[in-house]
Structure 1
């Protein structure tokens, strides 16, 4: 069920499914709540799963002034309060994983557990150069299809390009009635790129699972390993054969691993 929610001084579109312990899904660059459709459907059998549009994605407006990861983390905390969820299992993907890190640091009481997919704690020169190209790409591509075809080379596996999965995602994006503007893409990117939580990650106290795609060229596994090494007790796992966005490419694999982790937390096998 979709609904607008007033949170942290803005209006945010949310999608909610199921009943049970609360789950908050935080999307990455450009993705609206609908990017999590396979999780909204597949993980809501025993959880209350909530996804939302980050500022500048989908139906959520850009702020008038500067936008930051800290601001979006506060948005997420306010959303949980609006849904009357005291503590949630939080899943953050890519740019959303930066938001999830900040949420766990700024609002630790709100985070029951943390899953960080395709994450990083501090950008290196390669990552910075790659995102500078993305900023140029969205403004200079001849049309939206051309931009997506180029951008998705960093996001999905060769398998997904060969079997028609990427073409399906492109068609869905082009048909989406709330397209993201080039300005919104750039401003989200500008908010994500200064993210640097490496020295603060030891302050995260929630049980944490860090997942990396073996074939991810945008946020390669070495980034995730650095994050996991910095968070006390965090687990680090590599998803064989996967790239940057496995929750879309291989949702059954992703959902099963995340669901198992939540069960461990809820059964008291991990401190929470």
Structure 2
């Protein structure tokens, strides 16, 4: 079961699982800690995993000030300190990977390694046009179900739409008792659109693995390749047949890959 943790004055909903080296899981746009369920279940025999709701998502309220990626990175740092975690392996997907980049740049002592999935360093015209449509969609969709069905076209593979996986995710999201408001969705989205670490990425000095889905149309592999090329020594890998959220669609594949990476980092001390 999760709990509320006060971190630098913000009440953050946290779920922790397992024992071992510390891992902090940072979710993306609109997603609560439950987005990482397959990792909480599949990796807790080897790691102490912490997942949490970013401000404006799930059970973590957003204070009155505007949401920024830097502020959410500071939230993550404050959470680690509140939990007495001296440093952790950081894994973020999509907008959560933006937060992870800022965390490594703003609070380098707290970061042992980075896993950046479906990541971007700087929005381009395509990304801005796509997310601009999402802003309109969350306001104008005829129902929450219709909004999710449209939004998930960018997120999951054709096979997930065909085999019922997307239908299951839609039902789970609709049943979640802490839905994100349209205003909070747009606030997070605006912060992610404004994210820009491109020129600062060479300052990241920890081992980094960048993962991209071959079929990802929201953050195509070219974005991840650019991030990896800017971070010294970063590894870049395209996952064949995967889209924006491989950690949900193919958790065994994802868990094995990040486990191998973290084991390498641990072995190097």
Determine if the TM-score, normalized by the shorter chain, exceeds 0.5.
yes
Cα distance per residue 1:147-193 (max 9 Å; x no partner): 00000000000000000000000000000000111111000001111
How far did 1:8 drift? Answer: 2.5
* In structure 2, C-alpha distance between the alignment counterparts of 1:37 and 1:15, rounded to whole Å: 10
Aligned to 1:128: 128
Aligned to 1:266: 266
Aligned to 2:37: 37
Cα distance per residue 1:70-114 (max 9 Å; x no partner): 000000011111111111000010000000000000000100000
Equivalent position SS for 1:25: strand
Equivalent position SS for 2:210: strand
Structure 2 stretches of 5 or more lacking a match?
A: none
How far did 1:20 drift? Answer: 1.1
Aligned to 1:185: 185
State whether structure 2 residue 79 is matched by structure 1 residue 88: no
* In structure 1, C-alpha distance between the alignment counterparts of 2:256 and 2:2, rounded to whole Å: 25
Give the TM-score normalised by structure 1.
Answer: 0.98
* In structure 2, C-alpha distance between the alignment counterparts of 1:221 and 1:57, rounded to whole Å: 26
* In structure 2, C-alpha distance between the alignment counterparts of 1:70 and 1:143, rounded to whole Å: 32
Aligned to 1:13: 13
Aligned to 1:176: 176
Equivalent position SS for 2:62: coil
Aligned to 1:212: 212
State whether structure 2 residue 256 is matched by structure 1 residue 256: yes
* In structure 2, C-alpha distance between the alignment counterparts of 1:107 and 1:65, rounded to whole Å: 21
Aligned to 1:48: 48
Equivalent position SS for 1:123: coil
Aligned to 1:117: 117
How far did 1:228 drift? Answer: 0.1
Equivalent position SS for 2:242: coil
Aligned to 1:75: 75
Equivalent position SS for 1:103: helix
How far did 1:32 drift? Answer: 0.3
* In structure 1, C-alpha distance between the alignment counterparts of 2:258 and 2:95, rounded to whole Å: 19
Give the TM-score normalised by structure 2.
Answer: 0.99
How far did 1:9 drift? Answer: 2.0
Cα distance per residue 1:1-32 (max 9 Å; x no partner): 31100112210100100011100000000000
Cα distance per residue 1:194-246 (max 9 Å; x no partner): 10000000000110000000000000000000000000000000000000001
* In structure 1, C-alpha distance between the alignment counterparts of 2:131 and 2:225, rounded to whole Å: 21
Aligned to 1:230: 230
Structure 1 stretches of 5 or more lacking a match?
A: none
Aligned to 1:141: 141
Number of aligned positions between the proteins: 269
* In structure 1, C-alpha distance between the alignment counterparts of 2:82 and 2:104, rounded to whole Å: 18
